[in-house]
Amino acid sequence: MATGFRYGAKALVTVNAVDLSAYCDDSGLDVGIDTAETTTFSASWKTFIEGLASAKFSLKGNFDPTVTTGPAAVLTGLIGGGAKSVVFNPAGTATGELKRSVSAILTAYTEASPVGGKVTFTAAFQGTGAVTFGTN
């Protein structure tokens, strides 16, 4: 039997040192690694070398227009403000749980108001520099 699975509801997200976890219902870190093709003539299979890594971070959740602490205020305050700290604890903050930190630039912010649903927000970030992979 496999062990070590975690429940996503315990995740914690802070952006620019503000905890947005109470508003979020989805978040994720996407690390990509560039490759360069090195295939030569007469090869039967393509070959590659590893290039540079990059990171993107996303979050979405329940819109809250609270003037200083809600996600609308925190996230729109980042527009044009350069890179800020993003910390993602995918399984919570208990001792030994994973913690990912990256300096990131807000690249997109969306508010949506469906007729039959709740008002939501989404935000996307582009990491600048290395992701720190650590633990609590």
Q: Is the predicted pLDDT of residue 67 greater than 90, yes or no?
A: no
Would you place residue 3 in the very low, low, confident or very high pLDDT band (cuts 50, 70, 90)? low
Q: Which CATH number fits domain 9-33+49-135: 3.40.50.300, 3.40.190.10, 3.30.70.2610, 2.30.110.20?
A: 2.30.110.20
Q: Which of 81, 32, 34, 85 is nearest to 56 (CA)?
A: 32
Q: What is the pLDDT of residue 130?
A: 97
pLDDT one-digit tens code per residue, 112-127: 999 999 999 999 999 9
d(CA 124, CA 74): 13
At 68 the pLDDT is 80
Q: Note the residue count of the chain.
A: 136
* The model's pTM: 0.90
